[in-house]
A and B are shown apart, each in its own frame.
Chain A
Amino acid sequence: MVLMPEDRKLLEPLSSVVSGALRLLVGLLLISFILSLFDNAVPFWSGADHCVTANSSAASSTATDAMFNTAAGARVSAIPRYCAEDPTDQQRLLGLLSAVPYLAFAAGGLVLLNGMLRAAARDGVYTTQTASRLKVLGWWLLVGSLVAELSHATAETALLATLASDVHLSAETVLRQLTAPYLMVLTGLGLLTFARITRAGAAMREDLEGTV
């Protein structure tokens, strides 16, 4: 297969940005981990947030309105954010579990995207391998975002249950805490569609290679 130099140009500027972001992320994680071994003040494992915003709860009153200097005819709704003053190990763990899903999802997505871009730069953009990698990335975004949000909402609800006396961990409270990742789902569907287009392009490129 003839690899055109223009193929590499087609992948910019995303290729450079993703490569740089991944190196930065790995570098920061490494530095943070090493420093946390020597200095407890450096957050790594202990840096998980033990606060949670109760998305489904809101309160309003004249006192709240006065606190936020509302104009006449306006009302303020306050959404509570609960924090543990002296978090227990269980609360720290739940705080960590609420952050890990999205971190893992983002890191995995970056790694898959970087791998796809590097392979496309090496083997060509319009190849069946690129189409397959795009498909994998699309499924990762589609399914991964839903799994990450569900895990995040479940951990947050569990943490909220330890911080608020009227909240109990149940399917209903998890669903109320959940924020549907519409944009990620749409982007995932878009990538799956684009994978099909790329596969068709690969077939056309193969035909073109046999054209004199």
Chain B
Amino acid sequence: MPAEADDIHVHLDRLLTDREMTLADLAARVGVTNVNLSILKNGRAKAIRFTTLTSICQVLKCQPGDLLTYCPPSDNSAESS
């Protein structure tokens, strides 16, 4: 089965809540537009640059695995049912 972007879950909203930071604050500190971060937060991004990922992890003091998790399609269908 071909890989789908939907199989990668982004936990940016949880990380922002834990660090009491707004999306706009993060966008300003990372150097990415609010629109693009919003696309990432809502799971509509198709790809993320390493430079963006590095900047987000630096600012939020987290690991890429904290931000992104892979859920196989069987797990996805189990979650939705």
Contact = CB atoms under 8 A, between A and B. Distances in A.
Interface string B15-52: 00000000000000000100011011000111111001
A210 B39 CA distance: 8
Interface string A192-212: 000000000000000101111
Nearest to B33: A212
Contacts of A210: 39, 44-47
Interface string A104-115: 000000000000
Nearest to B47: A211
Contacts of B44: 210
Interface residues of A, number: 5
Interface residues of B, number: 12
Contacts of A211: 45-49
Nearest to A210: B46
A209 B46 CA distance: 8
Interface string A139-159: 000000000000000000000
Contacts of B47: 207, 210-212
Interface of A: 207, 209-212
7 residue pairs, one from A and one from B, having the closest CB atoms: A210-B46, A211-B47, A212-B36, A212-B40, A212-B45, A212-B48, A212-B52
Given A211-B47, A212-B39, 6 more contacts: A209-B46, A211-B48, A212-B32, A212-B40, A212-B47, A212-B49
Interface of B: 32, 36-37, 39-40, 44-49, 52
22 contacts: A207-B46, A207-B47, A209-B46, A210-B39, A210-B44, A210-B45, A210-B46, A210-B47, A211-B45, A211-B46, A211-B47, A211-B48, A211-B49, A212-B32, A212-B36, A212-B37, A212-B39, A212-B40, A212-B45, A212-B47, A212-B49, A212-B52
